[in-house]
Structure 1
């Protein structure tokens, strides 16, 4: 599949992705990409965030590819029962451990625990070995439950602009390869 064959939904995490974040850069570069906007970026409510993802998927006319970062990952995964048949694939980056009582702010725990059912579409989960919001072992565990290919990003922090991942060329290459392997006929609506 080519990027032009898909509706690429950018699903940012807590407080949104700023202009230097790789998600914002990808959105600007990819003509079929659009951001799932949330009413409350700094006070996320799981049901509201999930509902916005479902709305955006339902508006799509092409197969959907989810590109979720941080709190966007559990948001997307919680939406799967309502959108799974319309999604061609998902690219998950830096999934936080939302079941960890040490997570701050505390209300982010309302996004946990992660569903552990296998995903009905191909996915990649990119995780760092020194992400302050989620241990690599946690990412390995949930990726395994989902049937997601885990990519070890080494010591890359939270894989955001604060950790030096604004342009993130390695991520762009992995995403392009992933996209090229997806089927363009998934999720088509008549």
Structure 2
């Protein structure tokens, strides 16, 4: 009988980081296997710097790795997988929960974020789940569905939950944890 090794969950917040009350922060507080990827500049994100930070975090982690990404962290994951990661790095990834994809062409996309367009629209080399809200001001349902389809992701409509952040009232967000746990033991 083989025993599956517990995975490290790399937490990838979006623009301006995830603060107190955000489901990502709460998950980190509940489980020491959740590790936040520290980005060089949370307020002026640059794709290259963020993808290199993610690459370093994956290199430092023991396999398997799972991503819990929110907003710009989702786009960072897609760019990293499509343009930055080596085959060895990709082989470490067991899956990714991608929550609240922002649309770089949208009116509310942060103008301080550079290099996140056009979004790579090719199959991601690991299992993914895209979770969207029907009233997310940063990314609409058609955009998240198009990304999910191109990436080969399972797509989940969470209903009207805004940007699926601390303001969404999710608390510890048990349903999200169940989806994340579907990629393997935490």
What pairs with 1:110-121 in structure 2 (closer than 5 Å)? 110-121=115-126
- The residue aligned with 1:154 is 159
The C-alpha deviation readout for 1:41-82, integer Å capped at 9, x for no partner, is 111111101100000001111211011000100011111141
What is the TM-score with the length of structure 2 in the denominator?
Answer: 0.89
What pairs with 1:1-190 in structure 2 (closer than 5 Å)? 5-81=6-82, 82=85, 83-100=89-106, 102-108=107-113, 110-176=115-181, 178-180=182-184
Aligned residues: 179
Q: CA deviation at 1:85?
A: 2.3
RMSD: 2.0
Contact preservation (8 Å) 1:98, 1:110: no
Contact preservation (8 Å) 1:4, 1:32: no
Q: Flag structure 1 segments of 5+ consecutive residues without an equivalent.
A: 185-190
Q: CA deviation at 1:166?
A: 3.2
Q: Flag structure 2 segments of 5+ consecutive residues without an equivalent.
A: none
Q: CA deviation at 1:164?
A: 1.6
